[in-house]
Protein backbone atom coordinates (compact mmCIF):
# COMPACT_ATOMS: atom_id res chain seq x y z
CA UNK A 1 0.00 0.00 0.00
CA UNK A 2 1.12 3.53 -0.78
CA UNK A 3 2.61 5.04 2.45
CA UNK A 4 0.35 8.11 2.26
CA UNK A 5 -2.73 5.94 1.82
CA UNK A 6 -1.68 3.78 4.79
CA UNK A 7 -1.37 6.83 7.04
CA UNK A 8 -4.66 8.28 5.82
CA UNK A 9 -6.45 4.95 6.22
CA UNK A 10 -5.28 4.78 9.82
CA UNK A 11 -6.32 8.40 10.36
CA UNK A 12 -9.84 7.56 9.19
CA UNK A 13 -9.89 4.57 11.52
CA UNK A 14 -8.87 6.75 14.48
CA UNK A 15 -11.68 9.15 13.57
CA UNK A 16 -14.07 6.21 13.53
CA UNK A 17 -12.87 5.25 17.02
CA UNK A 18 -13.27 8.87 18.13
CA UNK A 19 -16.90 8.72 17.02
CA UNK A 20 -17.73 5.65 19.09
CA UNK A 21 -21.33 5.94 20.26
CA UNK A 22 -21.48 7.66 23.62
CA UNK A 23 -23.15 5.68 26.36
CA UNK A 24 -22.93 5.39 30.13
CA UNK A 25 -19.28 5.08 31.13
CA UNK A 26 -17.80 6.42 27.89
CA UNK A 27 -14.58 8.33 28.50
CA UNK A 28 -14.77 11.41 26.29
CA UNK A 29 -11.06 12.03 26.85
CA UNK A 30 -10.28 8.71 25.15
CA UNK A 31 -12.42 9.70 22.18
CA UNK A 32 -10.64 13.06 22.00
CA UNK A 33 -7.30 11.24 22.13
CA UNK A 34 -8.35 9.26 19.05
CA UNK A 35 -9.45 12.48 17.35
CA UNK A 36 -5.98 13.91 17.95
CA UNK A 37 -4.41 10.73 16.60
CA UNK A 38 -6.61 10.96 13.49
CA UNK A 39 -5.54 14.51 12.72
CA UNK A 40 -1.89 13.79 13.44
CA UNK A 41 -1.82 10.75 11.17
CA UNK A 42 -3.65 12.59 8.39
CA UNK A 43 -1.16 15.48 8.53
CA UNK A 44 1.83 13.14 8.67
CA UNK A 45 0.36 11.31 5.70
CA UNK A 46 0.09 14.61 3.85
CA UNK A 47 3.74 15.32 4.56
CA UNK A 48 4.59 11.89 3.13
CA UNK A 49 2.43 12.71 0.10
CA UNK A 50 4.77 15.67 -0.48
CA UNK A 51 7.84 13.44 0.01
CA UNK A 52 8.65 14.93 3.40
CA UNK A 53 9.67 12.66 6.25
CA UNK A 54 7.25 13.65 9.05
CA UNK A 55 8.75 14.69 12.38
CA UNK A 56 8.26 12.29 15.30
CA UNK A 57 5.88 14.48 17.24
CA UNK A 58 2.30 14.68 18.43
CA UNK A 59 2.42 18.47 18.14
CA UNK A 60 -0.18 19.33 15.50
CA UNK A 61 1.07 22.92 15.29
CA UNK A 62 4.54 21.70 14.37
CA UNK A 63 3.09 19.45 11.66
CA UNK A 64 1.12 22.38 10.25
CA UNK A 65 4.21 24.61 10.30
CA UNK A 66 6.12 21.96 8.34
CA UNK A 67 3.27 21.68 5.82
CA UNK A 68 3.12 25.46 5.44
CA UNK A 69 6.58 25.26 3.86
CA UNK A 70 5.15 23.34 0.89
CA UNK A 71 1.45 24.19 0.69
CA UNK A 72 -0.90 26.98 1.73
CA UNK A 73 -2.64 25.87 4.89
CA UNK A 74 -6.09 27.48 5.21
CA UNK A 75 -6.72 29.50 8.35
CA UNK A 76 -9.56 27.14 9.29
CA UNK A 77 -7.11 24.24 9.52
CA UNK A 78 -4.87 25.95 12.07
CA UNK A 79 -7.51 25.31 14.76
CA UNK A 80 -6.46 21.66 14.48
CA UNK A 81 -3.38 22.54 16.55
CA UNK A 82 -5.75 22.73 19.53
CA UNK A 83 -5.91 18.93 19.45
CA UNK A 84 -2.30 18.60 20.59
CA UNK A 85 -3.32 18.73 24.24
CA UNK A 86 -5.37 15.55 23.83
CA UNK A 87 -2.25 13.59 22.92
CA UNK A 88 -0.91 13.73 26.45
CA UNK A 89 -2.99 15.76 28.94
CA UNK A 90 -5.95 13.41 28.86
CA UNK A 91 -4.10 10.11 28.74
CA UNK A 92 -3.86 9.65 32.49
CA UNK A 93 -6.72 9.90 34.98
CA UNK A 94 -6.85 12.93 37.21
CA UNK A 95 -4.51 15.17 35.24
CA UNK A 96 -7.13 17.17 33.35
CA UNK A 97 -10.47 18.93 33.61
CA UNK A 98 -13.46 16.82 32.58
CA UNK A 99 -14.35 17.10 28.91
CA UNK A 100 -17.88 18.23 28.20
CA UNK A 101 -20.05 16.78 25.47
CA UNK A 102 -19.97 20.19 23.77
CA UNK A 103 -16.15 20.22 23.77
CA UNK A 104 -16.07 16.66 22.43
CA UNK A 105 -18.42 17.55 19.55
CA UNK A 106 -16.27 20.58 18.67
CA UNK A 107 -13.14 18.41 18.64
CA UNK A 108 -14.82 15.94 16.28
CA UNK A 109 -15.78 18.77 13.89
CA UNK A 110 -12.22 20.13 13.92
CA UNK A 111 -10.88 16.65 13.18
CA UNK A 112 -13.35 16.02 10.36
CA UNK A 113 -12.43 19.38 8.85
CA UNK A 114 -8.75 18.44 8.94
CA UNK A 115 -9.26 15.03 7.34
CA UNK A 116 -11.55 16.50 4.67
CA UNK A 117 -8.90 19.09 3.81
CA UNK A 118 -6.16 16.46 3.56
CA UNK A 119 -8.39 14.35 1.34
CA UNK A 120 -9.12 17.35 -0.92
CA UNK A 121 -5.42 18.23 -1.23
CA UNK A 122 -4.50 14.71 -2.27
CA UNK A 123 -7.41 14.10 -4.64
Encode the chain (123 residues) as per-residue pLDDT tens digits. 689 899 999 999 999 999 999 999 898 999 999 999 999 999 999 999 999 999 899 999 999 999 999 999 999 999 999 999 988 766 666 766 788 999 999 999 999 999 999 999 999
Q: Distance (Å, rounded) from C-alpha 103 to C-alpha 51?
A: 34
The three-state secondary structure class of 8 is helix
- State residue 2's pLDDT score: 86
- State residue 92's pLDDT score: 64
CA angle 7, 81, 46 (to 5 degrees): 25
Give Cα separations from 68 to 32, 64, 72, 74 (angstroms). 25, 6, 6, 9
CA angle 55, 60, 112 (to 5 degrees): 125
- State residue 90's pLDDT score: 62
Say yes or no: domain 3-122 is CATH 1.20.120.330: yes
Q: Distance (Å, rounded) from C-alpha 7 to C-alpha 12?
A: 9
DSSP string, 47-90: HHHTT-PPPS---HHHHHHHHTTTSPPPGGGGGGGGGGGGGTTT
Amino acid sequence: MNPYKEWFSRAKYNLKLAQTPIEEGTYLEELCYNAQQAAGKALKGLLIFFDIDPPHTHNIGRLLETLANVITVPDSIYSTSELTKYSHETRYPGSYKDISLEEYKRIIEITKNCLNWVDEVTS
